[in-house]
Structure 1
Amino acid sequence: MTKKPSVVNLNDLFGIEENLKTDDVDNKGITQLKIIDLMPFKNHPFKLYEGNRLDDMVESIKEHGIIIPLIVRPLKDGKYEILSGHNRANAGRIAGLEKVPVVIKEDLTDEEAMLIVTETNLIQRSFWELSHSEKARILTERHNAMKEQDKRADLEKGFSEEKQRKIDLINEIEMMSNIDGYEENSNSGTMCPQGETRDKIAGAYDLSPRNVSNYLRIDMLIDELKIRLDNNEIPFRAGVALSFLKEEEQKQVEQILKEGYKMDLKKADTLKTFSKGRNFAYEKAYEVLSGKYFDKPKKAKSIKFTNKFKKSINKYFKESQNQSEIEETIEKALEMYFSQYRGLNDKINQEEIEI
């Protein structure tokens, strides 16, 4: 059974000490918004619940309402972008709700907005139940955030206004997600204090550093190929190889796959080689994915003579003879030999016919 990492500590994400936390935020900021005014987060990396899980949430909302408020930020057109609570909003629509409780976050940077999206989803879901593309997005966001943290570490001395802002944001995420109710060794990730960025993430999610690198590559696939990966139409390692293709090359691969061709590691590695060699072309990609590329006759291997054979030849030639004379003599000898051999076979076959 795979070991699960310990409970998420968002303060570790930015290197914030526990004794610097502010007082818990209360619920005074909760308000009600029309559900029709809520928009999903742009490029939301997580799939919505389906099947029994969705049905259970709908029934719970019908009976108890939405207990934990959504987190949103205002858009310019009077709408609001959901940062946390996409499944609650979806289940609320199905349950027939007109309004839902929300906490509105003003003046968030895109980095802070994505932090809320990824961290609240990790708190509420198991990392291990996420699809490949969802894991890739989570690990990429963590990787980017930690690299940014390392850049700022040498610049930040004392308790800056920016760091206080992040502390407040982290505390609110924890409060809204009811993280205090989560047990140790739950399915959420945690940040490690030492090591390189990739190794920190590897330790946090019980992955090898190589696997982390692979997931960072997977996040570079276009959305269409990510869907195929999640649907097991593309093997994981093949997906990693395809991530080395340029975006336009990936689009061409997707266009060809729509014709029903299958992807495997051998094909993906071949396409990766083409791309790295800057000789990728649609026609070549089509040959690879259709399998025709691998059906081409291979060039005959050149014959290599052993040293023993070379010494045997030297017995029949003088040292004064040049290479062209030797090659000409050998060629004539072979022609004479095979001519006599064919003549003998013809004679034997004719005699068999007469008998």
Structure 2
Amino acid sequence: MKSSAKNISLNSYDDIFSTEETREDEKREKVTDMPLSELHPFPDHPFQVWDDDSMKETVESIKEYGVLVPAIVRPRADGGYELISGHRRKHACELAGLPTMPVIVRDLDDDAATIIMVDSNIQRENILPSERAKAYKMKLDAIRRQAGRPSKENCAQVGHNFDGKRSVQVVADQAGESKTQVQRYIRLNELTPQLQQMVDDKKIAMTPAVELSYLKPEEQTLLLDTIESEQATPSLSQAQRLKNFSQEGHLNEDSMLAIMSEEKKPEKNDLTIKADKLQKYFPKSYTPQQMEQVIIRLLDGWQKKRQRDQER
């Protein structure tokens, strides 16, 4: 009897441990090889996939080592799975001739999926201004919707339970940008696609582009015609005047042409370094004037050394 009781007890412990291990397995995310034909792009994905040198390197790496980091996907209502992260890896697999790629399937709502999609791509190099603008806007909207319906799942995804006023700061902090810079990027979404392309092509600088984003759509269309006729893009001062004329209701073809045909004034190129960045290099007793004198002396010495090096 004692032996029987002992056996029953051991079996019970085995059942308990087996159940706990099963639960832990269910909690762990499983990597699955998914046919590429089952993987569909994220709706309105803001990041373009380029067939550039970086893609060639990714293809060669996948041919040699396979896909080292699984993509993240979620089930689609229409069947198959929606890529949240891994658009470049999928394209590289296609170029490498692979039929499948490793993925992790997650059950995510639209907002959580959007946040992960943006966060998994935003730190990439060579992101175009229009891509960053759209991505920041998508994430901001998702966070604001989540703030309206806080839950444990939402808080875990974003990191906190945010209200709408702090949402821009959240996007900025998580992207390593200033709040002002994020707001400037988001303003680019108000530009027409043609003007956005000119910003991407570096034909219009970021700061003037933000000012131009306040023009009405029909005024932006008129601006494109004026840019073509004058073969010139607006400087910051011209963009500011165009914005002011628009807000005052005085911007028309004549006033726009008058502003755009003006001779451009050279833009200021001042450099400002905040004192708190310099203070750690100087004694606390140093005044800004003393710090400036030391910096100038060091720069003079650096310049002389460069001149000597060039003469050798």
TM-score, structure 2 normalization = 0.60
1:1-355 aligned within 5 A: 25-28=27-30, 30-33=32-35, 35-75=36-76, 78=79, 80-105=81-106, 108-122=108-122, 125-126=123-124, 129-148=126-145, 150-152=147-149, 162-164=151-153, 167=156, 170=157, 196-254=166-224, 257=227, 261-264=231-234, 265-281=236-252, 283-284=253-254, 287=257, 291-292=260-261, 294=262
Contact persistence 1:191–1:201 (CA under 8 A): no
Could you tell me how far apart the structure 1 residues matched to 2:148 and 2:94 are? Answer: 43
Could you tell me how far apart the structure 2 residues matched to 1:77 and 1:92 are? Answer: 23
Superposition deviation, residue 132 in structure 1: 2.3
Please list the CA deviations of residues 219-249 of structure 1 after superposition, one character each: whole Å capped at 9, or x if unmatched.
Answer: 3333332222122111111110111123444
Superposition deviation, residue 271 in structure 1: 2.8
Please list the CA deviations of residues 192-228 of structure 1 after superposition, one character each: whole Å capped at 9, or x if unmatched.
Answer: 9999444455555554443233223123333332222
CA gap of 1:44–1:193, structure 2 versus 1, over 3 A, is closer
Please list the CA deviations of residues 287-331 of structure 1 after superposition, one character each: whole Å capped at 9, or x if unmatched.
Answer: 258x34x38xxxxxxxxxxxxxxxxxxxxxxxxxxxxxxxxxxxx
Superposition deviation, residue 82 in structure 1: 2.3
Higher helix share: 2
Structure having greater relative contact order (Cα 8 Å, sep ≥ 6): 1
Could you tell me how far apart the structure 1 residues matched to 2:44 and 2:80 are? Answer: 17
CA gap of 1:197–1:100, structure 2 versus 1, over 3 A, is closer
Could you tell me how far apart the structure 2 residues matched to 1:136 and 1:255 are? Answer: 24
Could you tell me how far apart the structure 2 residues matched to 1:259 and 1:23 are? Answer: 66
Could you tell me how far apart the structure 1 residues matched to 2:131 and 2:200 are? Answer: 9
Q: Which amino acid aligns with 1:273?
A: N
Cα RMSD of the aligned pairs, angstroms, is: 3.9
Could you tell me how far apart the structure 2 residues matched to 1:78 and 1:261 are? Answer: 50
Structure 1 alignment gaps of length 5 or more: 1-21, 157-161, 172-189, 296-355
Q: How many residues align?
A: 238
Q: In terms of mean alpha carbon deviation, does 247-256 or 110-119 score higher?
A: 247-256
CA gap of 1:40–1:222, structure 2 versus 1, over 3 A, is farther
Q: Which amino acid aligns with 2:220?
A: Q
SS class of match (1:81): strand
Could you tell me how far apart the structure 1 residues matched to 2:174 and 2:78 are? Answer: 40
Q: For residue 159 of structure 1, what is the aligned residue in structure 2?
A: none
Could you tell me how far apart the structure 1 residues matched to 2:232 and 2:84 are? Answer: 36
Could you tell me how far apart the structure 2 residues matched to 1:102 and 1:137 are? Answer: 26
* % identity of equivalent residues: 29
Q: Which amino acid aligns with 1:226?
A: Q
TM-score, structure 1 normalization = 0.54
Structure 2 alignment gaps of length 5 or more: 1-23, 264-312
Superposition deviation, residue 86 in structure 1: 1.0
Over alpha carbons, which structure has the higher Rg?
Answer: 1
Q: Which amino acid aligns with 1:275?
A: S
Superposition deviation, residue 30 in structure 1: 2.4
Q: Which amino acid aligns with 1:111?
A: D
